Amino acid sequence: MRLVPVLRSRLRRLVPPDAVDDVVQSTIATALANKDVLEENEGRLLAWLLVVGRHRAIDWLRQRGRRPDPRLLALDRDGDHAHRVVDRVLLEAALALLPEHQRSVILDVCVHGRSAAQVAEDHQVPVGTVRSRLHYGLLTLRRLIETPNDRS
Amino acid sequence: MTDPDQLCELLPSYLLDDLDAEVARRFERHLASCPLCLVRVEPTQELLRGLAAANANQPAPRRRRGALLLVGVAPGLLLGTVLGVALARAQTSTQAPSMVLPLRGQHLSGSLAVYRKA
């Protein structure tokens, strides 16, 4: 599989060099467990491997008592994409447009780093509701700050 | 939890490493067959980074919800302007930004103030 070297090089950014093999192995084991589905969608295999590999890297770090901030851990493409962060002023402006129930969940979880379970308890709603609000809130946020190529 | 739509909702939680191992595995299987989720990974991570950075840039002492410092008028106006642009871009409707701005202004102090929440 030629994809493995790519996965390996990306993972080097997240875990120590001697951990890369472990994380690659664990990622590939997951890929094999989902072989049937992945075979039907081969063109997306690399993208999938990178997302799952990142997750395995977080697992690895956590198991060893390091607490990575998953909000900041990215397996970006090289170059211009590497440290792209959404413009903060735009982000705040867009946040202000969200319905309160979505905004408060996004602030609690994405800004303050609380877990969905904690937030669910605070607001006395099911944890699934918190995850759902998070998802739709982020989608709306994304739509609001998206920049078209030409600003006519 | 077999509803694909419901599984799509787990993407941010998965990226935030905020799912039980078993649910995370189920999501990974879903991710293998859902192009929409895969396409959303990068923009979602970008947003998460931006939101985390917003917090890092504004280290505030621990405060309760009621004891927030409100932001001045000038930043509010600036935001309003930016907002008009963002809205005009985001919406394909024919609504003029000038009609939208006053509506949106109501929420500005809330959104900024809440950053100061501990």
pLDDT tens digits, B77-100? 455 555 555 544 544 433 333 222
- Verify whether the Cβ–Cβ distance B13 to A134 is below 8 Å: yes
Q: For chain A, what percent of residues have pLDDT higher than 70?
A: 89
| Helical spans, DSSP H, in B16-118 | 21-33, 35-57, 73-90, 97-114
For residues A50 and A7, is the Cβ–Cβ distance under 8 A?
A: yes
Average pLDDT of the segment spanning A87-116: 93
Same-domain status, B115 and B87: yes
How far B32 CA sits from the closest chain A CA (Å)?
Answer: 6
Q: Which of residues 6-25 of B touch A (CB under 8 A)?
A: 6, 8-18, 24-25
Three-class SS string for A48-73? HHHHHHHHHHHHHHHHCCCCCCCCCC
- pLDDT, residue A46, reads 94
* Residue A104, min C-alpha distance to chain B (Å): 9
How sure is the predictor about A45, in pLDDT bands with cuts at 50, 70 and 90?
very high
Structure tokens at A135: 């998802």
Q: Do residue B115 and residue B78 come from a single domain?
A: yes
Domain limits, chain A: 3-79, 88-145
d(CA B13, CA B28): 12
pLDDT at A52: 97
Q: Are B90 and A72 a contacting pair at CB < 8 A? A: no
pLDDT exceeds 60 at position A145: yes
Residue B102 is predicted with a pLDDT of 29
Suggest the residue from B5, B8, B17, B101 to mutate for an interface test with chain A (most A CBs closer than 10 A). B17
Last residue of a domain, one of B34, B57, B80: B57
Count of structural domains, chain B: 2
What pLDDT, on the 0 to 100 scale, is given for residue B68?
A: 41
Do B115 and B65 reside in the same domain of the chain?
Answer: yes
Task: Supply the pLDDT for residue B58.
Answer: 56
Q: Which residue of chain A has the CA closest to B24?
A: A55
The Cα B15–Cα B36 span in angstroms is: 15
B31 versus A85: which is more confidently predicted? Answer: B31
Q: CB–CB of A57/A14 below 8 Å? A: yes
Taking the C-alpha atoms of residue A120 and residue B21, their distance in angstroms, rounded to an integer, is: 19
ipTM over 0.85: yes
Its domain, for residue B97, covers 60-118
pLDDT of residue A21: 96
Whether residue B1 has pLDDT greater than 60: no
B36 touches chain A (CB under 8 A): no
Same domain, B91 and B105: yes
Specify the fold of A88-145. Answer: Arc Repressor Mutant, subunit A (1.10.10)
Instruction: State the pLDDT at residue A83.
Output: 57
C-alpha span between A60 and B7 (Å, rounded): 24
pLDDT digits (tens, 9 = 90+) for A57-80: 999 999 998 888 888 887 765 544
Average pLDDT over residues B1-13: 84
CB contact under 8 A, A112 and B15: no
Q: Tell me if chain B has a CB within 8 Å of the CB of A92.
A: yes
Whether residue A60 lies within 8 A of chain B, CB to CB, comes out as no
Mutate to test the interface with A, among B29, B31, B117 (most CBs of A within 10 A): B31
**Quick one: pLDDT at residue A1?**
57
Please give the pLDDT value at position A123: 92
Which chain B residues touch A80 with a CB distance below 8 Å? none
- pLDDT per residue as tens digits for the range A7-34: 999 999 999 999 999 999 999 999 999 9
Q: Which residue has the higher pLDDT, A146 or B114?
A: A146
pLDDT digits (tens, 9 = 90+) for B40-75: 999 999 999 999 987 666 544 444 444 344 444 444
